[in-house]
Amino acid sequence: MVLAVSAAGPARAIAPGLGAPIPATPPHVSVNRVRVVDLPGLAMDEEVRGRRADDLLSSRAVVRYAGEHAGALGLSAADAPDMLHASREWPRLVDRCLDSSDPAARTAAQTIARRLGRNLGHVLLTLHRGDAVNRQARADWADEDWARWATVRHVWLGGGIVSGRLGVLIEQEAGAFLAEAGYAGRPHVTLSAWPGMVALLGAARYLPPVRHAVCLDCGHTFIKRACVTLDDGALIGLTGYAAVPVTVDWLGGPGEPNVTTGRWVLDRLVEAIAQTWDEGTAGELPPDEHVMVSVAAYVRNGRLLGNGLYANLNTLADDVPALLSAAASDRLGRPVQVHLIHDGTAAGAVYAGQPDTAIIVAGTALGVGFPPASAEGLRPLDCRLEADSRPRPHC
C-alpha cells in the first residue's frame, strides 16, 4: 500500500486500484459537540442557547419539535414506540406535511422547518465567529480548528434530514438568519443538488474509471445502496438505489462495542453489497471488484473509531475492510475489495477543488467534511447524473 503526503494533513493510504487517496479525517473535526453558549452582541434565540449542534439539527431535533406539534401533525405516543422508529419516520412525516392540505399540519411543519433553519444559522455563526465563550465549551479544539471555520465561506448542506422540501426551507431560513444577524453570506449556505445521496456519490468519486460498481452509504438510520454507472470515467447514473432501514436498536445509548452487534452489522453490510451486486449484474456488465462504502464513523488504519453502530465491527477483526472484503467475496463467490471512507469525508469529495468550503450532513447526527484541494484522480460528476429534484449542476 502506497502512502501519499498532503499539505492538508498526514500521510494517507492509497488502496490499490483506487483513483485517488482517501483522506484520513481526524475524529475531532466533528461539529456535533460544538455548543452555542452565546453570541455576544446579538439577540440569540433562547431555544438555541446552551445546546449542542447535534441537538439542534438532526433526526433527534426533528423528533423533539414534531413532538411539540404532535396534535397538528396527527401524531400520538403510539406512533413512536421507540426513538429508532421516530427518527426514521417523523422527519419524513414533517416533510410530507409541508404540502399537506390540512392548514394546521402545514403550519406546524413550516414552523419546524423555520426552527431547524434558524438553529443551523446559529451553529454556523458560532463556528464562523469563534467567540471565546464558545471556544471554552469545546476544549478539544485548538485555535487552528476555529481558524479553519473562520475561513469557510461556503457551506453545502446534505443528509437525509434535508432531502426533501424540508431541506429547501432550512437552507432559506439559515440564510435569512445570517442576513438578519448582519452576516449575510458569511458563510453562504447551499443545499446540495444530491442531499440524500451526497456521501454515496462522493465515495464513488474515488473509484477507478470502471463501468459499474457497488456503493453504499451506511448511516445510523438508513443504509443507502446503489450500483453506480460510469461513462468514459465520469459518474452518470445509479441503478438499484434504495434506502434500507437500520433496524438494530442501538439509539437508546450505544455502549461498548460487542461481538453480537458486530456480527449483525457485518451480515447486514454483506447482504446490502450482495443485493446491489445482483441488481447490477442485470445490466450489460457485472460490477467491478472495487466496492466503496461510506460509513458514519471515522476510519483509521482499518478500524472504525468511536462507539457508534459500525465500531462494533472492530470486535471481529483488526482490519475491517479486509473483513468485509473476505465476507463479501465469500457471499458473491468472486473476489471483491471493500474500501471504507468516513461519510463526511466522502460528501466533501463531491465538491473537490472548491476552496474555503465545508459540507454538513444532517442525519442521525451531523457529519462534516472539507473538500480536497484538487479533484485530480476523482471521477467527474456528469450532467446526466440526476439530482434529488434539484437543478442539475455543472451544466
Beta bridge partners of 243: 224
Confidence label for 393 from pLDDT (cuts 50, 70 and 90): very low
Provide the pLDDT for residue 14. Answer: 38
Angle CA 204–24–273, to nearest 5: 35
List all residues 6 or more positions away from 195 whose beta carbon is below 8 Å from its beta carbon.
157, 158, 159, 160, 162, 163, 167, 388, 390
Query: Residue 263 burial (CB < 10 Å; 0-12/13-18/19+)?
Result: middle
Taking only the tens place, the pLDDT of each residue in 36-94 is 999 999 999 999 999 999 999 999 999 999 999 999 999 876 665 566 667 788 899 99
Domain boundaries, the chain: 53-151, 196-369
The pTM score is 0.90
Confidence label for 287 from pLDDT (cuts 50, 70 and 90): very high
Provide the pLDDT for residue 41. Answer: 96
Provide the pLDDT for residue 167. Answer: 96
Confidence label for 286 from pLDDT (cuts 50, 70 and 90): confident
Q: Which of 3.40.50.620, 3.30.70.270, 3.90.245.10, 3.30.420.40 is the CATH number of 196-369?
A: 3.30.420.40
Provide the pLDDT for residue 257. Answer: 79
CA distances from 180 to 38, 186, 189, 300 (A): 17, 12, 14, 41
Comparing 49-53, 186-190, 237-241, 294-298, the range with the smallest average pLDDT is 237-241
Most distant pair of Cα atoms in the chain: their distance = 63
Provide the pLDDT for residue 79. Answer: 64
Taking only the tens place, the pLDDT of each residue in 354-365 is 999 999 999 989
Whether the pLDDT of residue 380 is over 70: the answer is yes
Confidence label for 161 from pLDDT (cuts 50, 70 and 90): very high
Higher pLDDT, 122 or 251: 122
Provide the pLDDT for residue 107. Answer: 98
Comparing 259-268, 360-369, 371-380, 384-393, the range with the smallest average pLDDT is 384-393
Mean pLDDT computed over every residue of the chain: 88
